Structure 1
Amino acid sequence: MRDFQSQQANLNKQLEALDAEAAAYSQGSAELQAANEQREALLAQRFSLWQIEPGWLLVAGVLYLAGLAPCWLFWHATLLAMDQRPRLHESLRAFYLGHLGKYVPGKALVVVLRAGQIRSPRVDTTVAACSVFVETLTMMAVGASLAAAILLLISRSWWLWLLAVGLMLAAGVPTLPPIFRRVVRMLQLKRLNPRIERAIAGLSFRLTAIGWLSISVGWVLLGASLWATLRAIPGGAAAMPDLWPAMLLLTATVTLAMVAGFLSLLPGGVGVRDYLIITLLAAEFGPVLSLCAAILLRLVWLLSEVLISAILYGFVPRPPDYADPPNDADAVHCDPGLQRS
């Protein structure tokens, strides 16, 4: 917020200096016309927070939660492939509640929350923890891949493209089924759960491919959430390019910023995520709109996570502590083709 106020104060100083300079120009001169155009551009970036449209922020929040849904479904499918039997409402509750853990340094609480919330006689804690790593790293790998592909088309900044490729490799390589199985064996998780070998044997390249396709849709929805956030800001709609170029830029912005923020291990990717959003948007939307968008996006996403978590925590029951055989009508079955042959 202080950064936003500083930007607005700087705009006021620029306007005062421009007005003083324009007073020296003769009426109808090219210099005066250029000064007036510059003044209009500066005025477009000056606004009050009270002018923000809350309806668009609501749309941004809904799009954010919808964008996470493919990741939830992939996590559910991963648990099924690993021979666990969660129910849809159980994995839904654990998934969104677990997101609150990313605001704790190191983000290990994400794994603790999710595994603890999904644990039941039908879901082993150790296997659930492994599945969280599969889902989360797959999401980050898909995001970094999309960022790299889009930046190659729309940006001349090679350092951003190289950053995206590096993040893709860092997040994606460990999720390849043979490598993930080797990592689990190296960590000797069999000591915690002798059945872990059977569980990780269910991971397959087909499951990974399904995850990549579905999560790609989720990332586009997250880019649309940033689009709605910009529409909420005065002047954001006017500065917006055509829909498809805008969605390419905004999807690349969200993907790269979120992945870099995640791998930084800072709580909520604070600082890293915001810096990349401002950097990628500044050329198209200007520094003030970009800064405001970064701040609003963080607030909207945080409030959305808190709200959905409160609803799920209060109204969706957690898995029971007693043995309860799975109800076929209540579970999403894992396609046998997802199992490793």
Structure 2
Amino acid sequence: MNSPAAPPGAPRARRWPRLRRYLRPFALAVVAVFATLYLIDEWDEISAGLGRLDLGAVGAAFALVLLGLAFTTMTWRAALGGLGSPLSVITASRIFLLGELGKYVPGGVWPVVAQSVLSRDHGVRRTRAILAGMVRWVVSVVMGVVVAMVTLAFSSPEALHAYWWLTILAAGGVVSLVPAVFNWWFPAALTLVRRGDSIEPISARAMLEACLWTTAMWLAFGLHLWFLARSLGAPAEGLLLLTTGGYALAWVVGFVIVVLPAGAGAREAALVLVLATALSREDALVLALVSRFLMLLADGTSAGLAVMVARLGGWGHTVAQVRAQAPRNG
């Protein structure tokens, strides 16, 4: 008597958990290698810069970077929920912050890839997780340009003339985020990612939440740079506007340069260029390098905290719960 045939994909389904058990430590090891190489290459300048800064200012800046990462996590969570897969804050934090470590590997796409893989454990379709990551990227870039335009334009009388072109980019970006417009062009631009699956339109509420969380993120990151700049003696007048707009603009530049890990080099160059209006180029470079170091430290810290809280608190789904929720989450 012949045994019943195994359903298609069954061997692959059995292999996947076993393969994933080895892939995750390997992926974390790759991230650690690239992050370590960056630190080795820049450590002399970073340590010299830290030696010039007040310890309290560095601590405040680090806390604000952690806060900014929490805000950007909420942006991703809002996007994913708006696409039809709501997750708890703890679960979303674990997925997003662990996945974000992939930005230290050259290529630019690894955070989204990692988040899509981690999301599968919680019944989220991989395509939807990828789309949520792309929505976050789009919102971060557009709101980064908007924040840079508003803050830099008012940071000094000369800045309005120097950054007038940001007004055009910001206006076009804001229009592109209007849900009726976004839900038209975004699916059309992602036909290759869609692979035949339908793309749910994102709700106006989810888009508004994502924009607000992203704006809060830029303010937190700008304030962390303000503490560092004040520690180096930068004049207070207009400084918060300059650091907020400068960081947002530098991040957008670094994002465009996707070949480098997390925009390494390009972001610092753009930040030095903007901050040089209030600081010497040497001091501006110190701020850029220390800021990068604090970001790397905060990325690792926040990811570790998210995993620890999820495990200690018992958050997360069992395999049975994942299978039960998979149809509901799409």
TM more than 0.5: yes
Query: Which residue is equivalent to 2:276?
Result: 282
Secondary structure of the equivalent of 2:207?
helix
Q: How does 1:57-72 map to 2 (within 5 A)?
A: 57-72=58-73
Q: CA deviation at 1:114?
A: 1.3
CA contact (8 A) 2:50 2:290 kept: no
* Candidates 242, 246, 262, aligned match of 1:249: 242
Query: Which residue is equivalent to 1:83?
Result: 84
Secondary structure of the equivalent of 1:86?
coil
Distance 2:78 2:288 in 1: 33
Do structure 1's residue 306 and structure 2's residue 309 form an aligned pair?
A: no
Name the aligned partner's letter for residue 240 of structure 1: P
Note the aligned Cα RMSD (angstroms): 3.2
Of 169-178 and 303-312, more deviation after overlay is shown by 169-178
CA contact (8 A) 2:49 2:286 kept: no
Distance 2:208 2:88 in 1: 23
CA contact (8 A) 2:155 2:239 kept: no
Name the aligned partner's letter for residue 264 of structure 1: I
Q: CA deviation at 1:259?
A: 1.1
TM-score (norm 2): 0.72
Name the aligned partner's letter for residue 256 of structure 1: L
Distance 2:118 2:240 in 1: 35
Distance 2:317 2:169 in 1: 35
Distance 1:163 1:4 in 2: 36
* Alpha-carbon distance change, 133 to 65 in structure 1, aligned in 2, over 3 angstroms: same
* Alpha-carbon distance change, 191 to 107 in structure 1, aligned in 2, over 3 angstroms: closer
Distance 1:136 1:241 in 2: 32
Secondary structure of the equivalent of 1:283?
coil
* Candidates 187, 192, 196, aligned match of 1:184: 187
Query: Which residue is equivalent to 1:321?
Result: 319
Q: CA deviation at 1:253?
A: 0.9
Q: What are the Cα deviations for residues 123-170 of structure 1, in whole angstroms up to 9, with x where unaligned?
A: 111111101111121022111111012222235357852564576478
Q: CA deviation at 1:79?
A: 1.8
CA contact (8 A) 1:118 1:319 kept: no
* Alpha-carbon distance change, 58 to 122 in structure 1, aligned in 2, over 3 angstroms: same
Query: Which residue is equivalent to 2:210?
Result: 211
Q: CA deviation at 1:226?
A: 0.6
CA contact (8 A) 1:86 1:123 kept: no
Query: Which residue is equivalent to 1:332?
Result: none
Query: Which residue is equivalent to 1:20?
Result: none
Q: CA deviation at 1:204?
A: 2.8
CA contact (8 A) 1:115 1:129 kept: yes
Query: Which residue is equivalent to 2:101?
Result: 100
Q: How does 1:1-341 map to 2 (within 5 A)?
A: 50-120=51-121, 122-155=123-156, 156=158, 161=163, 164-165=166-167, 168=170, 175-177=177-179, 178-185=181-188, 187-188=190-191, 192=195, 194=197, 196-197=198-199, 200-201=200-201, 203-232=202-231, 236=232, 238-242=233-237, 245-265=238-258, 266-317=260-311, 319-324=317-322
Of 256-265 and 277-286, more deviation after overlay is shown by 277-286
CA contact (8 A) 1:138 1:172 kept: no
How many residues of Structure 1 are paired with residues of Structure 2 in the alignment? 276
Name the aligned partner's letter for residue 265 of structure 2: G
Name the aligned partner's letter for residue 187 of structure 2: V
| CA radius of gyration, larger in | 1
Distance 1:229 1:251 in 2: 12
Distance 2:227 2:105 in 1: 28
Q: CA deviation at 1:322?
A: 3.0
Q: CA deviation at 1:75?
A: 2.0
Segments of structure 1 that go 5 or more residues without pairing to the other structure are 7-46, 327-341
* Alpha-carbon distance change, 171 to 95 in structure 1, aligned in 2, over 3 angstroms: farther
Distance 1:170 1:116 in 2: 33
Distance 2:241 2:273 in 1: 15
CA contact (8 A) 1:145 1:168 kept: yes
Q: CA deviation at 1:181?
A: 4.7
Distance 1:176 1:69 in 2: 24
